[in-house]
Chain A
Amino acid sequence: MNKNKEKLLNSRYRAEKRFQFYGKSAIFLALLFLTIFIFKIFSTGYTAFQKTWLIVPVTFDAETMYLDENPSKEDLEDADYFDLALQTMFDLDKSASEKQQNDLKRMVSYFFEREIKRELLNDPSLIGKTKDVYLTASDDLDQVFKGNYPRDLPEDQRRVTDYQLKIFDQLVEQGRVESKFNLSFFTYPDSREAELAGIASSFMGSIFSILVCLVIAFPVAVLAAIYLEEFAPKNRFTDFIEVNINNLAAVPSIVFGLLGLGILLAVFQLPRSTPLVGGITLSLMTLPTIIIACRASLKAVPPSIREAALAMGASKMQTTMHHTVPLSMPGTLSGTIIGLAQALGETAPLILIGMVAFVNTIPGSPLDPAASLPVQIYIWAESAERGFVEKVSACIMVLLGFLIIMNLFAQIIRHKFEKKWS
């Protein structure tokens, strides 16, 4: 009898130990995947925050720019910088053949004459003088300098020619190649040229979409939740509504995209590719999340508070507005932020309503065409250029940072207001 009991006790201890082991390994596995994922993104992405510049001496020769003597500001504005820019690059190797000259031209960014123009506009007295100007290196050389480019491939499989590498190495030796913080990644809109592509348009697109989503979803969801929880009679019809709100929360997001496409764009003729339409579509998706969070936090308000207010002679409306709703707000707000964070990471519905279009302007309002961060990731991930690979990871880092900040904010709200009275 005693032996049996001891056996039973031992097996109980073993069962608990086994269970703890399973739990710990599950957590370990989850953390491992997360670490690998984050390590991968950081290791590919961090170089995108650096940009390679070629420091090239530019001789601002008035003749090459077809300028008269003493040009006015407007003349400088209108002048043709293309030949000057070309000449600048050709001067790097005066003995270059025609083909090699073409290679030289491709060593810098596509619109590099604008960088020369900006330099001169800043200081018109440079005419006739020579100055070292920072020119954005082409994305391929950028990758070479960052060490991401396989130089040992045979030449015909590389986009960088041996000649370009030779000139580039000479420039490196002369200290004429510099790596600086890539500000343009944050201030430029998308571009076909990897070295010029930035997240400004998609970042603003995301912000506008989220704002539109918040402005529509929050009031509608909170009012619906308060009515359903506090005022609506409990009958079959309200049960039906409740079930369907839960169903709505489980609808795949692409369905909402089709809805946006079919109704907002086709029927209401709203401007396509805009954060307005994107925000409305996302708000449909966020609505059930906020309703559910708001109802749950209304339910969590102790009934004794309601009774206290009612017994003081407060009407139903006063009880709800003065006591129940304020007490439920921390939960509602953090639910809202989590819903918005979800919407922020949503791609499929935005692709359907056209926010996947190539947008190379920064939107100034929700009515301007824009992309959004996750869609930008999708667009860049499809691009073949090596320069976009690191940009994808960098964009993911920005998106994740955004999400972490939002979730942190939700936590802070919850903590701050819950602590206050207890």
Chain B
Amino acid sequence: MKKNGVKMIKINSKNVDVFYGKKQALFNINLDIEENQVTALIGPSGCGKSTFLRCLNRMNDVIDICRVKGQIIINDFDINDKSCDVVRLREKIGMVFQKPNPFPKTIYENISYGPTIHGMAQSKNEMDEIVENSLKKAALWEEVKDRLHEPGTGLSGGQQQRLCIARAISVKPEVILMDEPCSALDPIATAQIEELIDELKKDHTIIIVTHSMAQAARVSQNTGFFHLGELIEHGSTDKIFKNPENKRTQDYITGRFG
């Protein structure tokens, strides 16, 4: 989205290096993410795109041997700084995973968990409202409104993934990270999610990792191409797909490797 003709940058990463033990997984990544746009990260398996995504909400902290260097600046604040509180950060930056992973609790509890631990609802009514709005935004309300108190794990794969999206947006994050959200879904469920992503970008900045070039072309405004831990090229999706500067990008897009 442009304000006064200037693109607003939401996330600004500078010289990001990631190491797994002694092995370097990402080399000097400099990537700006525009606000209220969908940015797709593409590249062959093992190129580091998921690793980069997990740097943005510091999910790599969970992995003992993983070290992150460099700056990732969100809202003028370096999230790799020691003063950054991970809990607050993850409240602002939601995440949807490759495989749908609803909690083994009811649909209602799945959505209400985030708002509960962050103290976002003062009353039962307020919570009901949050749950309803989140499910509506995730285009799941109509399908589940009569069975909010049934287990979330009883839904179909596509519904579960939308439930996870609803769970992520329940705390009103500014950014939503999606790690191959459709790779475990059938084409119809995929289409629903893609439609949803387009809808969500009005309120959220979205970064999506995907293996499907077609999906990147369909849903994203910007694309970054990773290869062997390096960011080879990034820019508007149109440009990357129609007129890439780098030979490797072109080869990947046209299916010559990957």
Residues of A within 8 A of B (CB): 233-234, 302, 304-315, 318, 322-323, 327, 420-422
In this complex, how many residues of chain B approach chain A with their Cβ under 8 Å: the count is: 28
Check B99 against A304 for contact (C-beta < 8 Å).
yes
Cα of A315 to Cα of B105 in the assembled complex, Å: 19
Question: Of the candidates A308, A313, A421, which one forms a contact with B164 in the assembled complex, judged by CB atoms under 8 Å apart?
Answer: A308
Check B97 against A304 for contact (C-beta < 8 Å).
yes
- Closest Cβ of chain A: how far from B100's Cβ, in Å? 9
Cα of A385 to Cα of B44 in the assembled complex, Å: 83
Q: What does DSSP make chain A's interface, helix, strand, loop or mixed?
A: helix
Check A234 against B164 for contact (C-beta < 8 Å).
no
Given A305-B103, A421-B151, are A312 and B171 also a contact pair (CB < 8 Å)? yes
User: Hey, which chain A residues are within 8 Å of B153, CB to CB?
Assistant: 421-422
Cα of A314 to Cα of B115 in the assembled complex, Å: 11
Closest B residue, CB atoms, query A318: B117
User: Hey, which chain B residues are within 8 Å of A304, CB to CB?
Assistant: 97, 99, 101
User: Hey, which chain A residues are within 8 Å of B62, CB to CB?
Assistant: 306-307, 310
User: Hey, which chain B residues are within 8 Å of A305, CB to CB?
Assistant: 101, 103-104
Binds A, one of B11-19, B28-36, B83-91, B245-253: B83-91
- Closest Cβ of chain B: how far from A190's Cβ, in Å? 50
User: Hey, which chain A residues are within 8 Å of B117, CB to CB?
Assistant: 312-314, 318, 322
User: Hey, which chain B residues are within 8 Å of A421, CB to CB?
Assistant: 104-105, 151, 153
* Interface presence of B181 (CB below 8 A): no
Number of A-B contacts (CB under 8 A): 66
Closest A residue, CB atoms, query B62: A310
* Interface presence of B159 (CB below 8 A): no
- Closest Cβ of chain B: how far from A130's Cβ, in Å? 73
- Closest Cβ of chain B: how far from A353's Cβ, in Å? 44
Cα of A208 to Cα of B99 in the assembled complex, Å: 48
User: Hey, which chain A residues are within 8 Å of B59, CB to CB?
Assistant: 307, 310-311
Cα of A233 to Cα of B64 in the assembled complex, Å: 9
Closest A residue, CB atoms, query B99: A304
Check B97 against A313 for contact (C-beta < 8 Å).
no
Cα of A420 to Cα of B103 in the assembled complex, Å: 13
* Interface presence of B40 (CB below 8 A): no
* Interface presence of B57 (CB below 8 A): yes
Check A313 against B114 for contact (C-beta < 8 Å).
yes
- Closest Cβ of chain A: how far from B84's Cβ, in Å? 13
Check A313 against B88 for contact (C-beta < 8 Å).
yes
Question: Of the candidates B64, B113, B151, which one forms a contact with A312 in the assembled complex, judged by CB atoms under 8 Å apart?
Answer: B113
User: Hey, which chain B residues are within 8 Å of A327, CB to CB?
Assistant: 104
Q: Show 23 residue pairs from A and B whose CB-CB distance is below 8 angstroms, ordered by the A residue.
A: A304-B97, A305-B104, A307-B59, A308-B97, A308-B102, A310-B62, A311-B90, A311-B95, A311-B97, A311-B168, A312-B90, A313-B87, A313-B90, A313-B91, A313-B114, A313-B117, A313-B118, A314-B117, A318-B117, A327-B104, A421-B105, A421-B151, A422-B104
User: Hey, which chain B residues are within 8 Å of A234, CB to CB?
Assistant: 64
User: Hey, which chain B residues are within 8 Å of A309, CB to CB?
Assistant: 103, 113
* Interface presence of B43 (CB below 8 A): no
- Closest Cβ of chain B: how far from A88's Cβ, in Å? 71
Cα of A304 to Cα of B99 in the assembled complex, Å: 8
- Closest Cβ of chain B: how far from A264's Cβ, in Å? 40
- Closest Cβ of chain A: how far from B121's Cβ, in Å? 15
* Interface presence of B227 (CB below 8 A): no
User: Hey, which chain B residues are within 8 Å of A323, CB to CB?
Assistant: 103
- Closest Cβ of chain A: how far from B249's Cβ, in Å? 30
User: Hey, which chain B residues are within 8 Å of A318, CB to CB?
Assistant: 117
Cα of A311 to Cα of B88 in the assembled complex, Å: 11
* Interface presence of B167 (CB below 8 A): yes
* Interface presence of B94 (CB below 8 A): yes
- Closest Cβ of chain B: how far from A51's Cβ, in Å? 54
Q: A313-B87, A313-B118, A421-B151 are in contact. List 6 more A-B contacts (CB 8 A).
A: A302-B101, A311-B168, A312-B90, A312-B113, A312-B171, A313-B171
Check A307 against B64 for contact (C-beta < 8 Å).
no
- Closest Cβ of chain B: how far from A304's Cβ, in Å? 4
User: Hey, which chain A residues are within 8 Å of B118, CB to CB?
Assistant: 313
Q: Which 3 A-B pairs have the closest CB atoms?
A: A421-B104, A304-B101, A313-B90
> Which of chain B's residues 31-53 have a Cβ closer than 8 Å to chain A?
none
Contact code string B161-188 (vs A, CB < 8 Å = 1, else 0)? 0001001100100000000000000000
Cα of A311 to Cα of B62 in the assembled complex, Å: 11
Cα of A318 to Cα of B104 in the assembled complex, Å: 16
Highest count of chain B CB atoms <10 Å: which of A234, A302, A309, A313: A313
- Closest Cβ of chain A: how far from B205's Cβ, in Å? 16
Closest B residue, CB atoms, query A422: B153
Closest A residue, CB atoms, query B113: A312
User: Hey, which chain A residues are within 8 Å of B151, CB to CB?
Assistant: 420-421
User: Hey, which chain A residues are within 8 Å of B164, CB to CB?
Assistant: 308
Cα of A308 to Cα of B57 in the assembled complex, Å: 12
Given A311-B94, A421-B151, are A322 and B113 also a contact pair (CB < 8 Å)? yes
